[in-house]
């Protein structure tokens, strides 16, 4: 199925406009956010949720652990699903590196929230436009459950000053937030990017966004994935990424391992597949990569 077909089947506010003749890539260039893009059936999203929850039962919380795609086959498969890469290709070109992935989880009726911010503030990337984030719902992401809220068009103005106000309930590592929200943009213009399981949103790194607490009785779970084009060098130490489409003619990113698990480690239904990483060096590798990413966040800032 082509991206055009996906767009024409969508029912979202932003993509509805594409039915009026606007190209999704043009919409993204204009709005800096695109949703809902159907990627997989709700049952496939539910299957990754089951894998995640089986892994959590065994390993403990996996919320916001960086580079999860390097050890979890289901996360890698979804992050590199052809539907995903077709969209990403339209937005950043044919050569695509998978840079990071995390599960972002808000427990039912909890205070966890995301402050108003711009992702690129801490990434230290050379080319602001050669990157994109995807947020794929594994559970309903609604206004009630605390879906992402975005300010359409805000990416066009570039960087806004941030401050760090760490708080236990803020999902963001440093509690980074736009310093003067009222003076910087119109909060009331925020659009709730509601998603059903299996649907995704895509946003530009300068798009201002946040998300409120989950007031529903279900967990709100998303697989959050970042893609960069190979020419988009990152400041600081050499970092890792996986080439998932096209070619890398630059070599700025070291290649990283792909998960090798087949989904059969629990002897049948494949639900427990992440558990296999405990038997290899997977957990250690994952925790080291996660720590490196968290450290780099503290030192990288876009000017
Ligand atoms: O998961 C959320 O609510 C926010 C996600 C976010 O900030 C991001 O994808 O950049």
Q: How far apart are CA 120 and CA 131, in angstroms?
A: 9
Q: In what order do the strands lie in the sheet with 96-106?
A: 33-38, 199-203, 131-137, 220-228, 96-106, 239-245, 253-255
What does the pLDDT read at residue 282?
67
* b/e map 81-109, b = 16+ CB within 10 Å: bebbbbbbbbbbeebbbbbbbbbbbbeee
Per-residue DSSP letter, 291: H
Lining residues, ligand 1, CB within 6 Å? 104, 114, 119, 133, 135, 148, 209, 211, 222, 224
Give the distance (Å) from ligand 1 centre to CA of residue 213. 12
Within a 10 A sphere around the Cβ of 137, how many other Cβ atoms?
Answer: 29
Q: 158 with 244: CB under 8 angstroms?
A: no
What does the pLDDT read at residue 213?
98
Place of tokens 């498969």: 77
Give the distance (Å) from ligand 1 centre to CA of residue 100. 13
Q: How far apart are CA 170 and CA 177, in angstroms?
A: 10
Three-state SS annotation for 3-23: HHHHHHHCCCHHHHHHHHCCC
Pocket test for ligand 1, best of 135, 178, 193 (most atoms within 8 A of CB): 135
The set of residues, in sequence order, having a beta carbon less than 8 Å from that of 196 and lying 6+ positions away, is 36, 42, 137, 140
**CA 199-206-298 angle, 5° bins:** 100
Q: Which atom of ligand 1 is nearest to the CA of 148?
A: 3
What does the pLDDT read at residue 10?
41
Per-residue DSSP letter, 54: H
Average pLDDT for runs of 10 along the chain of length 303: 40 47 85 93 93 85 90 90 95 97 97 96 91 98 97 95 92 90 94 96 97 98 98 88 97 87 44 48 74 75 52
Within a 10 A sphere around the Cβ of 11, how many other Cβ atoms?
Answer: 11
Give the distance (Å) from ligand 1 centre to CA of residue 9. 25
Residue nearest to atom 10 of ligand 1 (CA): 119
Please state which CATH number belongs to domain 39-299. Answer: 2.60.120.620
Q: Which atom of ligand 1 is nearest to the CA of 211?
A: 3
Pocket test for ligand 1, best of 145, 146, 148 (most atoms within 8 A of CB): 148
Give the distance (Å) from ligand 1 centre to CA of residue 148. 6
Q: How far apart are CA 223 and CA 138, in angstroms?
A: 7
Strands 239-245 and 253-255: parallel
Extents of the domains making up the chain: 39-299
């Amino acid at each position: 199925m082509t991206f055009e077909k996906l767009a024409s089947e969508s029912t979202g506010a932003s993509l509805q406009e594409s039915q009026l003749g606007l190209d999704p890539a043009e919409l993204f260039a204009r709005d800096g956010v695109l949703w809902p893009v159907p990627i997989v059936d709700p049952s496939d999203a539910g299957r990754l949720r089951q894998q995640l929850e089986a892994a959590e039962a065994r390993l403990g919380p996996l919320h916001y652990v960086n580079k999860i795609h390097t050890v979890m086959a289901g996360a890698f498969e979804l992050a590199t699903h052809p539907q995903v890469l077709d969209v990403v290709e339209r937005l950043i070109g044919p050569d695509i590196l998978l840079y990071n992935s995390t599960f972002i989880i808000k427990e039912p009726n909890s205070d966890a929230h995301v402050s108003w911010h711009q992702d690129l503030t801490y990434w230290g990337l050379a080319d602001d436009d050669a990157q994109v984030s995807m947020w794929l719902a594994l559970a309903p992401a609604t206004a009630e459950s605390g879906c992402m809220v975005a300010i359409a068009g805000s990416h066009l103005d570039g960087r806004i000053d941030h401050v760090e106000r760490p708080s236990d309930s803020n999902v963001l590592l440093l509690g980074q937030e736009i310093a003067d929200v009222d003076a910087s943009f119109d909060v009331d213009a925020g659009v709730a990017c509601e998603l059903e399981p299996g649907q995704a949103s895509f946003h530009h790194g300068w798009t201002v966004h946040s998300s409120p607490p989950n007031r529903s009785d279900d967990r709100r779970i998303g697989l959050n994935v970042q893609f960069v084009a190979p020419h988009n060098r990152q400041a600081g130490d050499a970092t890792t990424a996986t080439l998932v489409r096209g070619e890398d003619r630059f070599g700025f990113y070291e290649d990283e391992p792909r998960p090798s698990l087949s989904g059969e480690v629990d002897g049948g239904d494949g639900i427990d597949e992440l558990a296999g990483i405990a038997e290899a060096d997977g957990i250690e590798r994952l925790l080291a990569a996660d720590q490196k990413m968290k450290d780099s966040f503290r030192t990288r800032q876009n000017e």
